Amino acid sequence: MADAPATQPLSGQVPLYKKPEPLNKEKHRKFGMSPPKEPFAFLKESHFLPAIVGEFSQYAGFFPVIFLGEQRLPVVVMGLNAGENLFIDADGNYEQDTMLPAFARRYPFVSASNGPDQPATVCIDVEADGIGENGQLPFFDENGEPTEALQQAIDFVSAFDADARSTEMFVKRILELDLFELKDVTLKDNTTGESKKVAEYYGVSEKKLNALPTDVYLKLRDEGFLPAIYSHLISLNRWDRILNKAIRRQQNAAPKAN
């Protein structure tokens, strides 16, 4: 839904978004999008991004996919420390030839749930760079209808929401089968030889997966969940990439000796 009541309240917070408002053809009649001055400024302090199951195979080539908290929220790892995204450089550029997760690609649009069996409301972060009145790509035409640019954004948000529901089903199934285990990542100090734990998370246990009865394993295959499971497991090899990027950034930030 792209024409919410102008007074419709929003509750809750969404990572990356500063001031999301339900799109309204009267309130936002003159709004549109222009090229942002810093396209990835909104992302530079995010070391985790929520992941959707339909992209697990793509993530696996770039980031670890891990699960966090009691709800086992799937996320892609983009940094070791809160407030630092290792894929955004000092000039605000996103690393070339690296996929951008859908959670970030849909920005500055997002949806707000209106409850069961009700269409979601499409919202826009009105404080996003490049969003404002008289933008190069208007949101609405002279008849108050969504322009092609806005409709494409709405369609993407809708597709993202569908994949988010599939992701919830995936996590629920893994929880039902008790396939998660606590894992960690350690970094070895080459000077002292000691290892330091730098991350702790939940991941699928290969041992538990391999121990599943054949009929249960085949049902996972028929449900379409096996590719996501194995993509997640493969993605854990990307921890080395994250660690190396963190070390290089730390070294580059260190004062140079005279």
Q: Which two tokens stand for residue 83?
A: 């407030």
CB neighbours (10 Å) of residue 238?
A: 18
pLDDT at residue number 192: 65
45, 84 contact by CB (below 8 A): yes
- Is the pTM here over 0.85, yes or no? yes
Residue 44: pLDDT band with limits 50, 70, 90: very high
Strand partners, 138: 32
Quick one: which of 70, 82, 100, 88 has its CA closest to 160? 100
Above 60 in pLDDT, residue 80? Answer: yes
Query: Which DSSP symbol is given to 238?
Result: G
pLDDT at residue number 139: 94
* pLDDT tens-digit map of 51-72: 999 999 999 999 999 999 999 9
Residue 99: pLDDT band with limits 50, 70, 90: very high
Contact partners, residue 121, CB within 8 Å, separation at least 6: 1, 4, 8, 22, 23, 111, 112, 114
For the chain, domain boundaries: 20-251
50, 162 contact by CB (below 8 A): no
Above 90 in pLDDT, residue 13? Answer: no
pLDDT at residue number 116: 64
User: Average pLDDT, stretch 135-160?
Assistant: 93
* pLDDT tens-digit map of 208-232: 999 999 999 999 999 999 999 999 9
pLDDT at residue number 136: 93
pLDDT at residue number 11: 36
